[in-house]
Homo-oligomer: A and B are copies of this chain.
Amino acid sequence: MGARLVVVGGDAAGMSAATNARRQADDLDIVVLERGSWVSYSACGIPYLVGGEVAAVDDLVARTPERLRAEHRLDVRLEHEVEEVDLAAGHVVVRDRARQRTFTLGFDLLHLATGARPTRPPLPGIDLPHVLGVQTLGDAQALLELARTSRCEHVVVVGGGYIGLEMAEAFLRWGARVALVEAAPQLMATLDPDLAARLVAPLAALGVAVHVGTGVAGFEPGRVLLDGGEVLPADLVVLGLGVTPNAQLAEAAGLELGARGAVAVDRRQRTSADGVFAAGDCATSHHRVSGRQVHVALGTVANKQGRVAGTNLGGGYATFAGVVGTAATRICSLEVARTGLTQREVAAAGFEAEWATIEATTHAGYLPDAEPITVRLGAERGSGRLLGAQIIGGQGAGKRIDTVATALHAGLDVQDVIDLDLAYVPPLSSVWDPVAAAARALVRRL
């Protein structure tokens, strides 16, 4: 055995680091410590598990510890929580929950993939048993159990972001009456307010009662108290209030923190301490469009950063190229996606932009199943450099954001988007793809 790499956290950012380190370094002793009961699973799949589209928890598990051990020679230990990182001593203090013992484990290299935790505001009743977060497969099991054992007639989802919307849909599938409560004046803070407002009517049509600009005052058994006095019945409450990086271990060890308290990393995923790397929901990212350090808690980023960290940990060379701000979701048949910067983010980053918003159809309008699509595209004044896009529409709308995400990655300008040789056949697109049509409208405004 060669040097030992200890990986803290066994989901995307941890396991992709471990497998990529193995690929580079055959003789590395790799130990993965996971405090939960699963590794290598799709947390993003939880809403579909809870909604019943995915039959079993195990379906979300990409690779079992046994397979990781056999195929990649990874020493994967579940129910092992790292309680302390001692950089000077070069060891971690580990709590083995199953055996109820604590031990130290030395490392030559350390990788932190501790993820993020759902925000739980200190509201009265937040710890009641029917108020549940959505983060781990354990949370998913708790949600499923409560849905089965309660009447599940009334469900309140607190938080109108991606997870909130996806969980609202999941409980519609249970036949529940779903209320969605968002303290901010709009759903989806990741969209421009006017576009986010367009989601309210479709959600209402699906049966979701949307309360925006309404905070939660507290929770009681069977109900949620809203600011202003309204009371919503609730057999089950789902919290979808965003996440906070799990950086306490890193902070206590003296590592530098960055955006939103995440572990600060460089392009190779190195933290401020030699031989210590971090990746995923606990770490910072570089935003290619704003040029700023940001915190992005998404599975795509976790996988990419983990891959980079693992390559470097194994003695190779890799850098994370950064994010351009892409995110997407689907609420029943409505697809929602964004990339780059929103109008608010453009202003915060110090750019001045022009924006164009077009209404089109997901494919040739003369075909009977063409659905509406709205595309907003923004570019910098003067330079015409692309800054961001948002798309809402029917089937085929969401993944069109990839065209803009690719263009942003490459630093293209709005004229380039008009010039792109995008695929066209009437059942898949109009002759001017809606993204290119938005670019045409934007050029006229610039």
Q: Which residues of A contact B (CB under 8 A)?
A: 12, 42, 44-45, 48, 53-54, 59-60, 162, 166, 288, 298-301, 303-304, 320-330, 335, 337, 339, 364, 366-368, 395-396, 398-403, 405-412, 416, 418-429, 431-433
Interchain Cβ contacts under 8 Å between A and B, 6 examples: A44-B426, A299-B431, A328-B428, A337-B423, A339-B423, A409-B412
Q: How far is the CA of A323 from the CA of B421 in the complex (A)?
A: 6
Smallest distance from the beta carbon of A295 to chain B beta carbons, Å? 15
Verify A48–B426 contact, CB threshold 8 A.
yes
Verify A330–B428 contact, CB threshold 8 A.
yes
Verify A421–B45 contact, CB threshold 8 A.
no
Q: Which of B298, B366, B422, B425 contacts A402 (CB 8 A)?
A: B422
Given A419-B321, A419-B409, A431-B44: A299 and B53 interface contact (C-beta under 8 Å): no
Q: How far is the CA of A44 from the CA of B427 in the complex (A)?
A: 10
Verify A431–B337 contact, CB threshold 8 A.
no
Verify B402–A44 contact, CB threshold 8 A.
no
Smallest distance from the beta carbon of A173 to chain B beta carbons, Å? 13
Smallest distance from the beta carbon of A365 to chain B beta carbons, Å? 9
Given A329-B425, A425-B330: A420 and B403 interface contact (C-beta under 8 Å): no
Q: How far is the CA of A173 from the CA of B127 in the complex (A)?
A: 59
Verify B428–A42 contact, CB threshold 8 A.
no
| The 5 nearest A-B residue pairs measured at CB | A410-B410, A321-B419, A328-B423, A406-B406, A326-B421
Q: How far is the CA of A379 from the CA of B407 in the complex (A)?
A: 19
Q: How far is the CA of A423 from the CA of B314 in the complex (A)?
A: 29
Residues on the B chain within 8 Å of A364, using CB? 42, 44-45, 48
Verify A423–B321 contact, CB threshold 8 A.
no
Q: Which of B60, B367, B416, B431 contacts A300 (CB 8 A)?
A: B431
Verify A421–B335 contact, CB threshold 8 A.
no
Verify B416–A410 contact, CB threshold 8 A.
yes
Residues on the B chain within 8 Å of A425, using CB? 44, 162, 166, 328-330, 398
Residues on the B chain within 8 Å of A428, using CB? 328, 330, 335, 398-399
Residues on the B chain within 8 Å of A329, using CB? 425
Other A-B contacts than A162-B425, A304-B419, A324-B421, 15 sampled, CB-CB below 8 A, are: A44-B425, A45-B426, A48-B364, A60-B366, A298-B424, A300-B422, A321-B416, A328-B424, A335-B428, A395-B395, A401-B423, A402-B423, A405-B422, A406-B412, A410-B412
Q: Which of B42, B300, B395, B421 contacts A421 (CB 8 A)?
A: B300
Verify B326–A422 contact, CB threshold 8 A.
yes
Given A54-B366, A399-B429, A431-B12: A300 and B406 interface contact (C-beta under 8 Å): no
